[in-house]
């Protein structure tokens, strides 16, 4: 893209008054996502259903949300492997009819909320750069395409996670702890932020308050289930410890482990758990060093988890990418990688049997090797992008350092 064009576009966008930039983000979101959803409903959905099969997950969304609306209990009456709040946060889509379009619109709304939150939280450090971060985030394929065409619910999860990180960055630690706890009971990975909150809070009294917030909200969420169906409720986290029935493989979704499993490398759950524990301990050791900022530390932890967790999906990459963009507005090559990483991810989908049809779309004898190579490319992009990001402080951390 010519330098003059970029500078001209930047000049026009920066000329928009700050109070109108949120409305511009909403307008761009409505136009882009509205067009994408309309194209999917009118043309693409029938083609995808006929060639690659229907989206499996939406049937689970409908079953669980409609069951709740009918007065049934999660875990006791409705089989569920997710924390409870994600189901309740999907109720508006089911109440709106439960169609694919209803879920697409509802999930896409959380993409908008994430974008607006990025802008409102980061604008105090640099209004123009914060606006670019928020604007670019609307078009990132791992969230946009997976949310609309894949109808994935992770947009809800990641909004809460990114919001809790942003609240911590701007010093609202107690609100961050509240958001993080709601996030934990939406998807457990939100808890990764807790050590950083405890580090950021400099007094033991403050840390006890943060832990009290986490405990209190957790009790409010869990107590009804502990009363009604304690055994079923306490057993659902087994999925996150790589167990979900005797026939369940600890690897699933779209990652390097999936392809190695296809090649015959069947790693037991206990080994994965030990590997995850070791890698995450190392990641936290590197992330919680005194010379690391919260954003740098969270980036290290999230990248480590996504690379090592054997049930990582394509949408999980939204989390580190949202952070990469904070560096990417000053490093275009790094920002470009946030888009390019989706290419090998998408291509690897052609060679996995972990899809809606249960067999690879390109069924070569050694197709799993191609898929594994594509996943290795993803790993290289992610690790090298992290290396580049950590070489230079982003505009947020520079501003925070000046204010200390």
Residue 242 confidence (pLDDT): 67
The yes-or-no verdict on residue 18 having pLDDT over 90 is no
Residue 106 confidence (pLDDT): 97
Mean pLDDT, to the nearest integer, of 279-302? 96
Structure tokens at 320: 């580190």
Residue 365 confidence (pLDDT): 80
C-alpha separations of 24 from 12, 134, 296 in Å: 12, 11, 29
Residue 247 confidence (pLDDT): 43
* Residue boundaries of the structural domains of the chain: 242-404
Mean pLDDT, to the nearest integer, of 271-298? 94
Rounded-to-integer distance, Cα 20 and Cα 28, Å: 12
Grade residue 245 by pLDDT with cuts at 50, 70 and 90.
very low
Residue 9 confidence (pLDDT): 65
Give the side-chain half-sphere CA count within 13 A for 112. 21
Q: What is the dihedral of CA 68, 144, 258, 368, to 10 degrees?
A: 140
* 8 Å CB contact between 228 and 321: no
* 8 Å CB contact between 232 and 80: no
pLDDT per position as a tens digit, 320-379? 999 999 999 999 999 999 999 999 999 998 888 877 667 788 888 888 999 999 999 999
Q: Choose among 179, 136, 154, 181: nearest CA to 32.
A: 136
pLDDT per position as a tens digit, 89-146? 999 999 999 999 999 999 999 999 999 999 999 999 999 999 999 999 999 999 999 8
CB count, 10 Å around CB of 54? 15
User: Which of 109-123, 128-142, 206-220, 241-255 is predicted least confidently?
Assistant: 241-255
- Phi/psi-derived region of residue 245, left when phi > 0, alpha when psi is between -120 and 50, beta in every other case: left
Mean pLDDT, to the nearest integer, of 142-167? 94
* Residues forming a β-bridge with 74: 78
The yes-or-no verdict on residue 59 having pLDDT over 80 is yes
The yes-or-no verdict on residue 3 having pLDDT over 60 is no
Rounded-to-integer distance, Cα 139 and Cα 263, Å: 34
The yes-or-no verdict on residue 255 having pLDDT over 90 is no
Structure tokens at 325: 């963009």
Q: Which residues does 162 contact at the CB level (< 8 Å), separation at least 6?
A: 114, 117, 118, 319, 322
Structure tokens at 403: 């204010």
Rounded-to-integer distance, Cα 262 and Cα 266, Å: 8
The maximal CA–CA distance of the chain, rounded, in angstroms, is 64
pTM: 0.93
In the chain, pLDDT over 70 holds for what percent of residues?
93
């Amino acid at each position: 893209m010519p330098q003059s064009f970029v500078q001209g576009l930047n000049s026009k966008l920066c000329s928009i008054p700050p109070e109108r930039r949120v409305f511009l983000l909403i307008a761009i979101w409505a136009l882009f996502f509205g067009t994408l959803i309309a194209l999917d409903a009118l043309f693409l959905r029938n083609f995808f259903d006929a060639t690659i099969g229907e989206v499996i997950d939406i049937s689970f969304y409908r079953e669980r949300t409609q069951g709740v609306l009918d007065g049934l209990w999660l875990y006791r009456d409705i089989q569920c492997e997710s924390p409870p709040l994600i189901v309740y946060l999907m109720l508006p889509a089911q109440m709106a009819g439960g169609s694919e379009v209803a879920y697409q619109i509802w999930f896409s709304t959380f993409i908008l909320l994430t974008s607006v939150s990025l802008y409102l939280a980061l604008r105090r450090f640099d209004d123009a750069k914060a606006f670019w971060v928020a604007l670019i985030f609307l078009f990132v394929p791992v969230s946009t395409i997976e949310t609309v065409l894949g109808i994935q619910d992770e947009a809800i999860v990641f909004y809460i996670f990114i919001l809790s990180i942003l609240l911590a960055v701007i010093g609202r630690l107690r609100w961050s702890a509240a958001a993080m706890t709601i996030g934990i009971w939406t998807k457990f990975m939100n808890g990764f932020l807790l050590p950083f909150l405890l580090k950021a809070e400099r007094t033991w009294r403050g840390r006890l308050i943060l832990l009290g917030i986490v405990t209190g909200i957790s009790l409010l969420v869990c107590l009804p289930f502990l009363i009604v169906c304690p055994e079923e409720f306490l057993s659902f986290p087994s999925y996150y410890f790589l167990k979900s029935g005797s026939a369940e493989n600890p690897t699933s979704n779209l990652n390097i482990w999936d392809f190695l499993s296809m090649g015959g490398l069947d790693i037991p759950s206990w080994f994965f758990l030990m590997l995850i524990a070791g890698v995450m301990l190392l990641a936290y050791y590197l992330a919680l060093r005194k010379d690391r900022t919260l954003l740098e530390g969270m980036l290290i932890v999230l990248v480590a988890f996504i690379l090592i967790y054997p049930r990582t999906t394509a949408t999980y990459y939204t989390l580190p990418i949202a952070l990469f963009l904070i560096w990417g507005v000053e490093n275009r090559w790094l920002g470009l990688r946030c888009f390019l990483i989706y290419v090998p991810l998408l291509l690897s989908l052609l060679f996995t049997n972990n899809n809606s049809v249960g067999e690879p779309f390109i069924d070569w004898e050694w197709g799993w090797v191609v898929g594994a190579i594509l996943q290795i490319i993803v790993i290289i992009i992610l690790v090298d992008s992290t290396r580049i990001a950590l070489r230079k402080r982003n505009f947020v951390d520079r501003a925070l350092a000046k204010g200390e």
